[in-house]
Amino acid sequence: MTWIDDRIQQYYAWMKDNTIVHEDNGTGWCSVSTPFIGIFNDHIEVFIKKEGEKILLSDDGQTLDSLSLTGVDIYRSARRKELVEIILRTYGVQLQGKELIASASEKTFPRMKHAFISAICEISDLEIMAKRYKTDSRVCNKKRSQ
Protein backbone atom coordinates (compact mmCIF):
# COMPACT_ATOMS: atom_id res chain seq x y z
CA MET A 1 0.00 0.00 0.00
CA THR A 2 1.18 3.48 -0.78
CA TRP A 3 0.79 6.55 1.38
CA ILE A 4 -2.33 7.64 -0.56
CA ASP A 5 -4.02 4.27 0.03
CA ASP A 6 -3.55 4.81 3.76
CA ARG A 7 -5.08 8.31 3.52
CA ILE A 8 -8.05 6.97 1.54
CA GLN A 9 -8.64 4.31 4.19
CA GLN A 10 -8.36 7.01 6.85
CA TYR A 11 -10.98 9.06 4.98
CA TYR A 12 -13.36 6.06 4.79
CA ALA A 13 -12.94 5.47 8.51
CA TRP A 14 -13.64 9.15 9.23
CA MET A 15 -16.79 8.99 7.07
CA LYS A 16 -18.02 5.89 8.88
CA ASP A 17 -17.20 7.27 12.33
CA ASN A 18 -19.05 10.52 11.56
CA THR A 19 -22.19 8.96 10.09
CA ILE A 20 -24.93 8.39 12.65
CA VAL A 21 -28.00 6.28 11.88
CA HIS A 22 -31.25 6.25 13.86
CA GLU A 23 -34.10 3.97 12.86
CA ASP A 24 -37.74 4.73 13.60
CA ASN A 25 -39.20 1.27 14.12
CA GLY A 26 -42.73 2.63 13.80
CA THR A 27 -42.30 4.05 10.30
CA GLY A 28 -39.33 2.12 8.95
CA TRP A 29 -37.52 5.37 8.10
CA CYS A 30 -33.89 5.79 9.11
CA SER A 31 -32.34 9.21 9.66
CA VAL A 32 -28.74 9.29 8.55
CA SER A 33 -26.69 12.20 9.87
CA THR A 34 -23.76 12.68 7.52
CA PRO A 35 -20.42 14.41 8.16
CA PHE A 36 -21.30 16.97 5.48
CA ILE A 37 -22.16 20.45 6.74
CA GLY A 38 -25.35 22.29 5.80
CA ILE A 39 -26.37 25.94 5.57
CA PHE A 40 -26.59 26.50 9.33
CA ASN A 41 -23.34 24.68 10.12
CA ASP A 42 -25.30 21.56 11.02
CA HIS A 43 -24.88 18.07 9.64
CA ILE A 44 -26.81 17.21 6.50
CA GLU A 45 -29.41 14.59 7.30
CA VAL A 46 -30.89 12.11 4.82
CA PHE A 47 -33.95 9.97 5.49
CA ILE A 48 -33.91 6.47 4.03
CA LYS A 49 -36.53 3.72 3.88
CA LYS A 50 -36.60 0.33 2.21
CA GLU A 51 -39.85 -0.60 0.48
CA GLY A 52 -39.65 -3.98 -1.18
CA GLU A 53 -36.77 -3.89 -3.63
CA LYS A 54 -36.69 -0.09 -3.68
CA ILE A 55 -34.74 2.19 -1.32
CA LEU A 56 -36.27 5.65 -0.90
CA LEU A 57 -34.24 8.75 -0.02
CA SER A 58 -35.70 12.02 1.25
CA ASP A 59 -34.54 15.26 2.80
CA ASP A 60 -37.99 15.74 4.42
CA GLY A 61 -38.10 19.22 2.90
CA GLN A 62 -35.20 20.47 5.02
CA THR A 63 -33.03 21.72 2.14
CA LEU A 64 -35.56 24.14 0.66
CA ASP A 65 -36.87 25.13 4.11
CA SER A 66 -33.34 26.05 5.22
CA LEU A 67 -32.73 27.92 1.99
CA SER A 68 -35.97 29.83 2.49
CA LEU A 69 -34.92 30.78 6.02
CA THR A 70 -31.81 32.43 4.56
CA GLY A 71 -33.99 34.56 2.28
CA VAL A 72 -33.80 32.43 -0.86
CA ASP A 73 -37.21 31.24 -2.01
CA ILE A 74 -36.83 29.27 -5.23
CA TYR A 75 -40.53 29.66 -6.01
CA ARG A 76 -40.27 33.47 -6.22
CA SER A 77 -37.70 33.45 -9.01
CA ALA A 78 -37.86 31.62 -12.33
CA ARG A 79 -34.03 31.65 -12.50
CA ARG A 80 -33.63 30.08 -9.05
CA LYS A 81 -36.22 27.41 -9.85
CA GLU A 82 -34.41 26.69 -13.11
CA LEU A 83 -31.08 26.31 -11.26
CA VAL A 84 -32.65 23.88 -8.79
CA GLU A 85 -34.18 21.87 -11.66
CA ILE A 86 -30.78 21.66 -13.39
CA ILE A 87 -29.14 20.42 -10.19
CA LEU A 88 -31.90 17.85 -9.62
CA ARG A 89 -31.62 16.51 -13.19
CA THR A 90 -27.83 16.31 -12.89
CA TYR A 91 -28.10 14.01 -9.86
CA GLY A 92 -31.29 12.10 -10.69
CA VAL A 93 -33.20 13.64 -7.78
CA GLN A 94 -36.82 14.81 -7.91
CA LEU A 95 -38.75 17.57 -6.19
CA GLN A 96 -42.07 16.61 -4.63
CA GLY A 97 -43.56 19.77 -3.15
CA LYS A 98 -40.61 21.07 -1.11
CA GLU A 99 -39.13 17.61 -0.52
CA LEU A 100 -36.13 16.25 -2.40
CA ILE A 101 -36.63 12.57 -3.16
CA ALA A 102 -34.86 9.78 -5.00
CA SER A 103 -34.98 6.02 -5.21
CA ALA A 104 -32.37 3.35 -5.67
CA SER A 105 -31.90 -0.38 -5.73
CA GLU A 106 -29.55 -2.12 -3.34
CA LYS A 107 -26.96 -2.15 -6.13
CA THR A 108 -27.29 1.57 -6.97
CA PHE A 109 -27.76 2.80 -3.38
CA PRO A 110 -24.15 3.92 -2.68
CA ARG A 111 -24.00 6.01 -5.86
CA MET A 112 -27.50 7.42 -5.36
CA LYS A 113 -26.85 8.32 -1.71
CA HIS A 114 -23.73 10.19 -2.81
CA ALA A 115 -25.63 11.91 -5.65
CA PHE A 116 -28.46 12.82 -3.25
CA ILE A 117 -26.07 14.44 -0.76
CA SER A 118 -24.30 16.24 -3.64
CA ALA A 119 -27.65 17.64 -4.83
CA ILE A 120 -28.44 18.86 -1.30
CA CYS A 121 -25.02 20.56 -1.07
CA GLU A 122 -25.36 22.27 -4.46
CA ILE A 123 -28.89 23.47 -3.78
CA SER A 124 -27.77 24.74 -0.38
CA ASP A 125 -25.03 26.71 -2.14
CA LEU A 126 -27.79 28.82 -3.70
CA GLU A 127 -27.78 30.62 -0.35
CA ILE A 128 -25.32 32.96 -2.04
CA MET A 129 -28.33 34.39 -3.89
CA ALA A 130 -29.76 35.77 -0.65
CA LYS A 131 -30.23 39.54 -0.64
CA ARG A 132 -27.61 40.10 2.04
CA TYR A 133 -24.95 38.94 -0.44
CA LYS A 134 -26.07 41.15 -3.31
CA THR A 135 -24.09 44.32 -3.93
CA ASP A 136 -26.07 47.53 -4.10
CA SER A 137 -24.85 48.97 -7.41
CA ARG A 138 -25.97 52.50 -6.41
CA VAL A 139 -23.57 52.45 -3.46
CA CYS A 140 -20.72 51.12 -5.61
CA ASN A 141 -21.30 53.68 -8.36
CA LYS A 142 -21.54 56.53 -5.83
CA LYS A 143 -18.22 55.54 -4.23
CA ARG A 144 -16.52 55.44 -7.64
CA SER A 145 -17.70 58.93 -8.55
CA GLN A 146 -16.37 60.51 -5.33
> Where exactly are the structural domains of the chain?
19-130
The whole-number pLDDT of residue 36 equals 96
- Lowest mean pLDDT segment, chosen from 2-11, 15-24, 134-143: 134-143
Q: How does pLDDT run across 13-65, given as a tens digit for each residue? A: 999 999 999 999 999 999 999 999 999 999 999 999 999 999 999 999 999 99
The whole-number pLDDT of residue 144 equals 47
DSSP E strands in 43-146: the ranges are 43-51, 54-58, 94-96, 99-104
List Cα–Cα distances, 50 to 58, 61, 84, in angstroms: 12, 19, 26
The whole-number pLDDT of residue 129 equals 82
- The second-level CATH assignment, the architecture, of 19-130 is 2-Layer Sandwich (3.30)
